[in-house]
């Protein structure tokens, strides 16, 4: 499931696999394995992916938005 979410997030951001791989400091091939579900990101990589896509690690792993991911909390804080 995380692989589909990573692909969706990347497409929504409008960047290539190479751009994300460069951010993570890994090869494009290594990143493509995440999107294919043939390799799982380690903890550090998962955190970096969350930062890059501005989502929680829970969202990447389970597809569930947490309270921190909702616009209502951001509006309230402003």
Contact between 49 and 60 (Cβ < 8 Å): yes
Domain tally, the chain: 1
**Confidence at 75, pLDDT banded by 50, 70, 90:** very low
What is this structure's pTM? 0.80
Q: Where in the sequence is the domain holding 42, given as residue range(s)?
A: 2-77
Asked if the model's pLDDT at residue 70 lies above 70, the reply is no
Cα(71)–Cα(63) distance, integer angstroms: 16
**Confidence at 61, pLDDT banded by 50, 70, 90:** very high
Segment 50-59, tens digit of pLDDT: 999 999 999 9
What percentage of residues in the chain have a pLDDT greater than 70?
83
Question: Domain containing 23 — which CATH number?
Answer: 1.10.260.40
């Amino acid at each position: 499931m995380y692989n589909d979410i990573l692909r969706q997030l990347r497409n929504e951001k409008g960047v290539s696999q190479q751009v994300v791989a460069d951010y993570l400091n890994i090869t494009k091939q290594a990143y493509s394995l995440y999107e294919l579900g043939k390799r799982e990101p380690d903890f550090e990589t998962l955190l970096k992916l969350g930062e890059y896509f501005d989502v929680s690690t829970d969202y990447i792993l389970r597809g569930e938005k947490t309270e921190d991911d909702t616009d209502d909390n951001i509006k309230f804080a402003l």
